[in-house]
Structure 1
Amino acid sequence: MSQRNYRSAIVGTGGIATAHAEAVAASAGRAGLAAAVDVDLGRAKAFAETWQIPRVHASLTDLLREGEVDLVHLCTPPALHAPLALECLEAGVTVLVEKPPTLSLAEMDALVEAETRSTAHVATVLQHRFGAGALRLRRLADAGELGRPLLATCATQWYRDEAYFAVPWRGTWESEGGGPTMGHGIHQFDLLFSVLGPWREVTAVAARRARAVDTEDVSTALVTFDSGAVATVVNSVVSPRQTSALRFDYERATVEVEHLYGYTDDDWTVTPAPGHEDVASLWNGERSSVPSGHQGWFAAVLDALDRGEAPPVTAGDARRTMEFIAALYRSAFTGERVRSGQITPGDPFASRMDGTGTPWEKVRNQ
């Protein structure tokens, strides 16, 4: 597998852009920062000075016109993800999109379709798939070492105060696409799906309990999988003791991780079922000090590109996660159980995550 040097550009130089710059810097010369883009040119220049980036632009269009970039790291607010990603695909430039990749399932489908017409790829930044613990869990599960998956729990219980939501694009369906289900819990339940495989059905509740926002601030769901496994998924931004926790109960062991914004091997525990103590030795025999984060994800992106493959998380992978989000909201706001594949083009929940409207909005309009 031959390696090359990829010219990266970061579009949107706010807080998350630093994680991308760090990942590029840690790539051992496999990638380099060629440009920074921001509508606030002063902010772009300051970012470029910090990371020794040679060029700055005020728009993605200006960047692509020069034609001297291989990868675009899209770090803008969510409402810009789909249109800017489409612009990259039309220019034949691979785009790496921060979560959530789009505001709706319909926008996600537009990206999937545009990718088929492009020489480039679109991938979503869902970095928790790539930590050493998650990679090991998938290897052991796929090899049958853990037995059948039976039950899982997935909790993203974070705390965001009113000041957090004072940023204009946060807390609205039009600019953020949803609440903690869309923008916070997506990391954990995407990891859940990467381990347990395709989900089949969801029954959910979403509520606005404490924050003055348009979206929900809590949600919970019961999910069944094609394998027969059952899981609960909780998403919150009103929980003072913050945690990100996943637990997988297999026939032969319980595997758990609890962290906040990123994990190491020290955050994982394995509890073998009686008679299956060998599972612990299989787990501990592969220990690693590598944390989850953008660096592991970006290394996987570069590996895939070197092989001539679509980089992870592929558009198809991200679509399954986005479909779950739409299904959770549809179930929560209609009271129905929603199956995979049920939300088709033309469904209100395909075009907007709030679909036919939230209960609290309907009460306000009465």
Structure 2
Amino acid sequence: MIHVAIIGAGAISPAHIQAYLQFPEQCRIVALCDIYPEKARQKADQFQLDAEVFADYTELLQRSDIDLVSVCTPPYTHADTAIAFLDAGKHVIVEKPMASSLEECDRMNEAAERNGKILSVVAQNRFTSPMMKLKHVLDTKLMGPIVHAQIDSYWWRGHSYYDLWWRGTWEKEGGGCTLNHAVHHIDLFQWMNGMPAEITAVMSNTSHDNAEVEDISIAIARYENGALAQLTSSVVHHGQEQQLIFQGKHARVSAPWKVAASSSKANGFPEQDEELEAKIQKVYDEQPELSHEGHRGQIQDVLNAIEQGSSALVDGIQGRRTLELITAIYQSASTGQSVKLPLGPESPFYTRQGILQNATSFYEKKTSVENFSDNTITSGGNS
């Protein structure tokens, strides 16, 4: 039986709690921790958990009855919390984004390696049937080389969203919509299409003058083979439509799912390639549906990895790659220059201090509320 502790009892914690409760034969939640212990107690009561409540996670480090920890706290706390538990011999699942800087990611991965423990970064959108099917289709290369990708991470958040005490600052949230909303789609993009060679980006704050950070960014990614991708991250788009489109030389596929293929007439104009479309559709349809999706699917993957001594699908290396792309977007948008990948210690945005010194700050955060009365969250559009 894997014993679990959850650190942070905010809006995302129920997704973890409900996921663990799906696997009672594999795990049991034994502790909840939050700097506001009444929030942890409320969650324990809500989900009828036989779990102790703590206000300080350091009290849990030496407990031998804890095997796995879910870190559900604000991004600026992820590194120190995860490293402390990894060094205490615990496996760790950390919410997105992995950390506030690449330097912190590197320290987290070093801690996982030296302790021989699993570090998994939440990327729950990978664990959906449509995304697993799309990934499989792309892996077949039936579309030919991908020449263009379009990633639209469209969300909408009201002005008050950034009034929460830790949101809207480079120091505590680590960034705006690119880091904390589009992280889902940027992770899917790099998982499916690989890492580009260069990023050129712009960003702005159009609608939230109570936040230092951006509420929209647009980036162009260039690959060594000349392929391009465009990534839009936003919390100003009504309707929250979201999509990933991959254009290959022979066909296009996307989420939401659509396939289209063209062949060339003698004059170069297109005609529908029904045979290739049918072949791609067959590959998509033959992939099985997942039994557990989202957080449940990822937590099942980690529980199985612990029991089997195997690797998790989304480890700290994968988590770092996603943050590397986001960091490159911030560096390019703040400096007005294209950024070559990969990024290492030579980047002025490698450390949290470097980000604080160099990132564009749009407005001064003047409002700070401790908690919202309505703590429900939405998961976006139709991707």
Shared fold (TM-score, shorter chain, > 0.5):
yes
Whole-angstrom distance in 1 between the partners of 2:135 and 2:305? 18
Letter in 1 for 2:14: T
| 3-state SS of paired residue (1:239) | coil
Structure 1 counterpart of 2:378:
none
- Go from structure 1 to structure 2 and tell me whether the alpha carbon gap of 1:100 and 1:351 turns closer, same or farther (over 3 Å shift): same
The within-5 A match list for 1:1-366 is 5-27=1-23, 29-51=25-47, 52-212=49-209, 213-226=211-224, 228-258=226-256, 268-273=257-262, 274=273, 275-277=275-277, 278-286=279-287, 288=289, 292-341=293-342, 343-352=343-352, 353=355, 355-358=357-360, 360=362
SS in 2 for 1:242: coil
1:81-128 CA distances to partner (integer Å, 9 max, x unpaired)?
111011111101111100111111111111122222213232110111
CA shift for structure 1 position 225: 3.1
Q: Distance in 2 between matches of 1:240 and 1:168?
A: 25
Pairwise CA distance, 1:197: 1.4
Q: From the superposition, tell whether residues 21 and 227 of structure 1 become closer, same or farther in structure 2 (CA, over 3 Å).
A: farther
Deviation at 1:71, TM superposition (A): 0.7
Residue 313 of structure 1 aligns to a residue in which SS? coil
Q: Secondary structure at the match of 1:240?
A: coil
Displacement of 1:355 after TM fit? 4.9
Deviation at 1:152, TM superposition (A): 0.9
Q: Distance in 2 between matches of 1:84 and 1:220?
A: 32
Q: Which moved more, 1:40-49 or 1:351-360?
A: 351-360
The answer (yes or no) to whether the contact 1:330–1:355 under 8 Å persists in 2 is no
Q: Which runs of 5+ in 1 are unaligned?
A: 259-267
Distance 1:41 1:360, change over 3 A: closer
Partner SS for 1:107 = helix
8 A contact 1:153–1:246 mirrored in 2 = yes
Normalising by the residue count of structure 2, what TM-score does the alignment of the two structures yield? 0.85
Conserved in 2, the CA contact under 8 Å of 1:198 and 1:226?
Answer: no
Task: Report the CA distance shift for 1:303/1:229 in structure 2 as closer, same or farther (over 3 A).
Answer: farther
1:289-318 CA-to-partner distances (Å, cap 9, x unmatched) read 757411111122223223312323211111
Would the aligned equivalents of 2:76 and 2:173 in 1 still touch at CA under 8 Å? Answer: yes
In structure 2, how many angstroms separate the alpha carbons of the residues matched to 1:303 and 1:123?
Answer: 13
Tell me, what secondary structure is at the counterpart of 1:310? coil
Q: Which residue of 2 aligns with 1:264?
A: none
Count of residue pairs brought into register by the alignment: 348
Whether the aligned pair in 2 keeps the contact of 1:245 and 1:256 (CA below 8 Å) is: yes
1:16 deviation in Å?
0.5
Name the residue aligned to 2:268. Answer: none
Distance 1:227 1:139 in 2: 22
CA RMSD of aligned residues (A): 2.0
Q: Structure 1's 30 and 253: CA in aligned 2 closer, same or farther, altered over 3 A?
A: farther
Higher mean alpha-carbon deviation, 179-188 vs 106-115, is at: 106-115
Counterpart AA for 1:230: L
Distance 2:15 2:359 in 1: 35
Q: Normalising by structure 1, report the TM-score.
A: 0.89
Given the superposition, is the C-alpha separation of residues 306 and 228 from structure 1 closer, same or farther in structure 2, using an over 3 Å criterion? farther
Contact 1:131–1:290 (8 Å) recurs in 2: no
Partners of 1:312 and 1:283 lie apart in 2 by 21
Give the drift of 1:361. 7.0
**Residue deviations 1:256-315, cap 9 Å, x none?**
224xxxxxxxxx222344141321122123363757411111122223223312323211
Q: Summarize the Cα distance change of 1:166–1:41 in structure 2 as closer, same or farther, 3 Å threshold.
A: same
Is residue 331–residue 359 contact of structure 2 (8 Å, CA) maintained in 1? no
| 8 Å contact kept, 1:93–1:120 | yes
Residue segments in structure 2 that go unaligned for 5+ positions in a row: 263-272, 365-383
Distance 1:13 1:71 in 2: 16
Partners in 2 of 1:49 and 1:348 — Cα distance?
Answer: 46
Of residues 50-59 and 151-160 in structure 1, the stretch that sits farther from structure 2 once superposed is 50-59
Q: How far 1:230 moved relative to its partner?
A: 1.7
Q: Deviations over 1:164-221 (max 9, x none)?
A: 1110110100000000011000000100111011221111001111112101111010
Cα distance, 1:59–1:355 mapped onto 2, change above 3 Å: same
Indicate the SS of the match to 2:23.
coil
Letter in 1 for 2:360: T
Give yes or no for contact 2:213–2:361 (8 Å, CA) kept in 1: no
The equivalent residue for 2:379 is none
Whose RCO is larger (CA < 8 A, sep 6+)?
2
Structure 1 stretches (4+) deviating beyond 6 angstroms? none
Letter in 2 for 1:131: T
1:108 and 1:10, CA in 2 relative to 1: closer, same or farther beyond 3 A? Answer: same
Structure 1 residues 317 and 332: CA distance shift in structure 2, 3 A: same
Q: Which residue of 1 aligns with 2:266?
A: none
